[in-house]
Structure 1
Amino acid sequence: MFYNVLNFPLEDAVPNRLQYLELILNDYRPDIFMVCELNNETGANTILSSLQFLNPDYQSATFELNTSDDVISDQNDLQNLIYYDSSKFTLESQTIITSIYRDFNHYRMKINSVESDINPVFIDVIVCHLKASSGTENQVIRFQMVEDLIAYLDTLPADSNVVLAGDFNVYTDSEPAFQELIDSDNNNAIDFIDPANQIGSWHNNTNYIDVMTQSTRTQTGFGGSTGGFDDRFDFIMTSENMQTNPEIKFVENSYKVYGNNANIQCYNQAINSSDCAGAEYPFFIRNALHNFSDHLPVTLELQTNQSLSLEEFSTVKALQITGSNIIDEVLTLKLNPSAQLKTITINNNLGQVIKTISVKNSLYVKENMSSMANGIYYITSQELHHKPLKFIIAH
């Protein structure tokens, strides 16, 4: 999954918008999660904590600030990063690719397969965010950025398995930047293909409604862009060899825009409107996407003929208290849906059950504690064998 996370965490027009990202991640559970528009290391660590709550095997690359030329614009608050399931992948290296405007970030991943010692399989993941906005000048900057990338890719072996993911900000396939990526006659060492097989003039063209990613919003006040659903800006592309390489290739017809029901009525609408309804993505998913970012994520499935070397079981945290464990009025809990909890109980320090709460596999539960006396309390569940969580009520 690739996702433009909209100036996370500095964009705060939507209160507590992390909860919407957590709902999205819990639903899709990407093995590799690539992002752009990450502001700072605090935001990077916040997302990692949310992922590790779902699966402790998630790790991230080292957060790095943009190093590219700041003459055009100060881009040091918009970073790229990759998160990954470390039971399936090892991060072998990470490299900054400088350009005229913003960095590309190269993450070399190795599949954790049984055969990895004698026949390792690597994926070279490039995460990017090209210059935004229409107009000839911005097209030229996007093209110059891609030329910087191509110069770097020409130093890699021609048979490298490359995944290029990012917010390209291109309006049509005829833009020089996009043509530079896909043109097999330009003598590039590595050419890219569109796994969605939807190359064309995307802007304001309902023939491409199924691959449109921006904007999820029509109203102002949420941060980011408005104007409704009419552009394909976000991509996951692969090197040509990943169409047929049995060791690592993309699954045909697996490219999807997460949250996009391919409903033509969605054109120019907000993604959480009834015009964007469909069987694949229900309202609560589309509403979370609407509230978190002005872009939709894009996803792609990869397949290998090697045997993954996975642990049979992993331990996940079933529930946790969000914020301080010293409570005045409201106790907020975050639950891992994998635990499939139905009820939790609150006990006093004598072990007596004070309250039973129906959680119904919720992601968040808020319980009013204003009527309870000051003291120490414990949270347990008969459905789990775990150490009770302790909190203190102090009005």
Structure 2
Amino acid sequence: MKKKICLVLMLCIFAFNGYAQENFKLMFYNVLNFPLEDAVPNRLQYLELILNDYRPDIFMICELNNTNGAQTILNSLQFINPDYQSATFELNTSDDNISDQNDLQNLIYYDSSKFILESQTIVTSIYRDFNHYRMKIKSVESNINPVFIDIIVCHLKASSGTANQALRFQMVEDLIAYLDTLPADINVVLAGDFNVYSDSEPAFQELIDTDNNNNIDFIDPADQIGSWHNNTNFIDVMTQSTRTQTGFGGSTGGFDDRFDFIMTSENMQTNPEIKFIENSYKVFGNNANVQCYNQAINSSDCDGVDYSSFIRNALHNFSDHLPVTLELQTNQSLSLEEFTTITAMQFIGSNVINDVLKLKINPLAQLKTLTINNNLGQVIKTISVKNSLYIEENMSSMANGIYYITSQELQDKPLKFIIAN
């Protein structure tokens, strides 16, 4: 009897492992000269709303200005999930012989409970660097059968015209020459602001390699190949511009271009160890509403069931681009991590206030209410959280002194603040 039980148990374990799968959420975003572009006050809060809503496992960006901006975004991600880490920030080197402004960089952030950053490499081109990040899935099987994802983040030359098309093509040729030195069977994700207007552009044709001359060919997981510019047939993959009014920074003109992409190597369509999930490619904030053409993304013309006016307003205020997202799937099982604590709430600014208490709430804490207590432990005020990310509470009626914030959902020690009018 014991032998039969053991055999059944072994078969169950085998079956469980055989059908194990994990999904990963990817997001690429042109963050519009972050943090130097300051036309919109407190722009970071809109990015935090976006990140909290999607919670990517891998977050890839371009148009990052400096180390301060890199750390600021990491701080925001770590407030949502302390497991987030980033690659090392590196200045653009490709423009050293042109302008050497070094004001637009790429970077990647990732959930370190799911991925290990194995290496990072700068790939130079005629205009801007490509950044190559080799990620390993942190799985139970990683020691005997490691699965890697080679992620390349880019920002091709902007603007229309044959001269700019030629520069984009030359940049892509530099990338292809680099990829030709790597194994043909690696799993590659290429994410970036391509600035292409049509699939007929030489740069895009070089990526999809219809002549089969490249070591690694790319496919469009959205399966939306065509002439995207000013073509409402492709409204669901358009990413730029989110704005029609000036004064926000970036481009205006409304929604009419597909500039932002996540593409994968062809093998990631069918590779069970790591592949993209069919129909998971989305433009975050795009409701595929044809009335949105040439409109601002936060207008009622862009309404739909997938993305609310609240999140579309955050997207409108943060950047002139929309993020693109894609989900990947592996047949491996993630390794178990030790429990990590989270910061449930923190002050926005100082804990010494005049009349308004400002807090940022971690949604993972799942707080329902906050309680304000005085020095004697008496409840002075109760604040409803209602899944809010930000709390602003008027405290002008309260006397000067020391107060404490607690919650029934928390075991942490109270958060102290001082009212000093």
TM-score by length of 1: 0.98
Post-superposition offset of 1:312: 7.1
Matching residue within 190, 197, 204 for 2:230 = 204
Please give the per-residue CA displacement for 1:48-98, whole angstroms capped at 9, x wherever unaligned: 111111111000001111111344444411110000000000000111111
Q: Are 2:69 and 1:43 aligned?
A: yes
Aligned residue number for residue 80 of structure 2 = 54
Shift in Å, 1:371: 2.9
In the aligned structure 2, how far is the partner of 1:65 from the partner of 1:331? 38
2:95 and 2:102 in contact (8 A); partners too: no
- Provide the rounded CA distance (Å) in 2 between the counterparts of 1:375 and 1:92: 51
Partner of 1:105: 131
- Paired with 2:120 and 2:270, the residues of 1 have a C-alpha distance of 26
1:327 deviates by: 1.3
Alignment root-mean-square deviation, CA: 1.2
Q: Give the distance between the partners of 1:91 and 1:8, measured in 2 at CA.
A: 24
Secondary structure of the structure 2 residue equivalent to 1:392: strand
**Which protein has the larger Cα radius of gyration, Structure 1 or Structure 2?**
2
Kept in 2, the 8 Å contact 1:180–1:186? The answer is: no
Amino acid at match of 2:69: G
CA deviations on 1:229-254 (whole Å, 9 max, x unpaired) are 00000000000110111100000111
Is structure 2 residue 206 aligned with structure 1 residue 180?
Answer: yes
What's the counterpart of residue 175 of structure 2?
149
2:340 paired with 1:304: no
Which residue type is aligned with residue 304 of structure 1?
A: T
The alignment status of 1:347 with 2:373, answered yes or no, reads yes
Is 1:24 the counterpart of 2:50? The answer is yes
Distance 1:64 1:369 in 2: 44
Deviations, residues 236-281 of structure 1 (Å, cap 9, x unaligned): 0000110111100000111000010111111000111111111111
Identity among equivalent pairs (%): 88
* 2:287 maps to 1:284: no
Q: Which residue number in structure 1 is paired with residue 140 of structure 2?
A: 114
Shift in alpha-carbon separation, 1:40–1:311, aligned structure 2, 3 A:
same
Aligned residue for 2:359, secondary structure, equals strand
Q: Is 1:66–2:92 an aligned residue pair? A: yes
354-363 vs 274-283, greater mean Cα deviation: 354-363
Moved more, 185-194 or 273-282: 185-194
Contact 1:75–1:102 (CA<8 Å) still a contact in 2?
no
Matches within 5 A, 1:318-357: 318-357=344-383
- In the TM superposition, residue 187 of structure 1 has moved relative to its aligned partner by 1.6
C-alpha distance in 2 between matches for 1:226 and 1:349: 52
Unpaired stretches in structure 2, ≥5 consecutive residues: 1-26
Find the counterpart in structure 1 of residue 5 from structure 2. Answer: none
Whether 2:271 is the aligned partner of 1:245: answer: yes
**1:293 has 2:322 as partner:** no
Alpha-carbon distance change, 121 to 167 in structure 1, aligned in 2, over 3 angstroms: same
Residue 319 (structure 1) shift: 1.1
Mark the runs of 5 or more structure 1 residues left unpaired by the alignment: none
CA contact (8 A) 2:81 2:342 kept: yes
The one of 106, 109, 113 equivalent to 1:83 is 109
Structure 2 residue identity aligned to 1:257: V
The one-letter code sitting in structure 1 at the alignment partner of 2:64 is L
Q: CA deviation at 1:358?
A: 1.5
* Amino acid across the alignment from 1:240: E
Give the aligned residue type for 1:126. I
The range that moved more, 160-169 or 346-355, is: 346-355
* TM-score for both structures, normalised by structure 2: 0.92
